[in-house]
Structure 1
Amino acid sequence: MNAPAGPTAPDPTRVAADVAAALAEDLGDGDVTAALLPDAPDCAYLLCKEDAVVCGRPWFEGCHRALDPEVRIDWRVSEGDRVAAGTVLAILQGRNRALVSAERASLNFMQTLSGTATITAAHVDAVRGTGTGILDTRKTLPGLRHAQKYAVRTGGGVNHRMGLYDTVMLKENHVRAAGSLTAAIRAARAMQPTLPLIVEVESIEQLREALTEGCDRVLIDDFTPQMRREAVAIARAAPFDGRIPLEVSGGVDLAGLRAIAEDGVDFISIGGLTKHVRAIDLSLKLGPPPG
């Protein structure tokens, strides 16, 4: 299976749904604090307080346009740009009540998605030049999978399966139920002949079995470094000739990432890209930017 290449735009329908849910959660029957403002024309600026990869512009814009369709947002950076602390990302001009009412929801999206893109970029940088791709997983925040996986792409990573519906992935439970790895692969092919098939293996013997029977990618889970290097050698040698890519998962951290990539694996999947979320420090301030 060839993973999707390069960042692609988020689905506008999904963005709109995310925005509607966030605003409904925050505003309820109305912003009782913003009502204290005179509802006059005003401006604001979006400030990034730390080094980051910018991500989440469609959601940020969606929040503000939902409350003020006439708001003007002048971006000084592009989606995916790497920026330094202190960078003004955008200037907004609109009604002050709408600006402050949309503030928290818009920042929540930008902070979270920029955080995901930033940590992804750090992992991509760590393996740059090796030919190894960085994959995400399904360990995402509930309701924000589409958004977080977009952020992974923005940071230079590659999406694994989006859900349980678009790729068949065989693990130990399926092998146990089928009686053997070969039987599980054949059953999966018979039931879902058009979907990509990923097979998780736990030993060199299972690796050979999966490569012989055929699939779209093999996941070598929790292999020792010696086993991993042996797996790469087997998968690249005749008769397999590197046709089936290898993915590494389990026990992966940033410090040891390059060593794994240099062993020659095709992909490394990392749940922490979307599971361990640390938001980027952003703020939206009324008034013109300093300077």
Structure 2
Amino acid sequence: MVAASALRGPLRSLLRVSCLLPCLLTVACVTTHEATRAPTLEEKCAGGSAWACETWGRQLQVDNRTEEADRALGLACAMGSTSACLSQGKDRLARGDLEGAEAPLRKTYDEDSEEGALALADLQDARGDAVGAAHFRYEALSIDKSTTEFGIGWRVPFDGGMGMALDVNVQPMGLKARRLTLGVNMGLDAKRVSLNATVGYQHFVTNWFAPYGRALVGPYLDASSSRRNPINLGAEVGMKFFAGPLGHLGTGFGTSLDGSTYYFLEAGLDWVLTLMVLAHM
């Protein structure tokens, strides 16, 4: 009896542990699952991820949860996502919220987005402002082009030989929406070397094609005794094929008062990309 009584206490403890063990294992499994579960898009958005907010917003749009989608896209827009601003603005425009659509679309437009400019044109149309709509569509053709380009050109003079040209072109958005071009040009071939200031105009037929013309004026850098005029006056006409903000390819003809006439082929690259290329050479 004494032995049985002595064993009764440990048996009770063992039974208690046996009963508690499944509960402890369940809690451990739940805790482990919570620790290893990947955060949702909503949680990532709350943590400050613009990508998560935008992706979550697009999913909510598919589920027709309009107000929640608008809030998620608005958070992404506030974090600097231009595409989220565009999505929010277009969605509000489609729902007839013209005042609410303008702010996010303006942010997109301010980032030199062609789609943002076209969406603002649609907004002006919805307001009955045909002049304002036409202005934004005019700007949309050139809004995403590079402000400053470095260019290199190959010249084939009609009087023989080969030549080249180096250019820095500035295309300001404020002056006729990148139609006006200003720059510096160095032209050189076997018979002449000149440094020129340039001014020109390019007409955007589409967002990728623009015929253009420009005038060149500046001194010759070579000391040629046979040249009557030490100042170069010239002109070029041609066409450009744009690759958005990256740059362009161009071709055309040029001539100057010293009698040189040439065909040229040129390539222009955005100044940031040019510096990156030079840094890796």
- What range is the shorter-chain TM-score in? under 0.3
TM-score by length of 2: 0.24
Structure with a larger share of its residues in strand: 2
TM-score by length of 1: 0.23
| Higher-RCO chain (CA-CA 8 Å, sequence separation at least 6) | 1
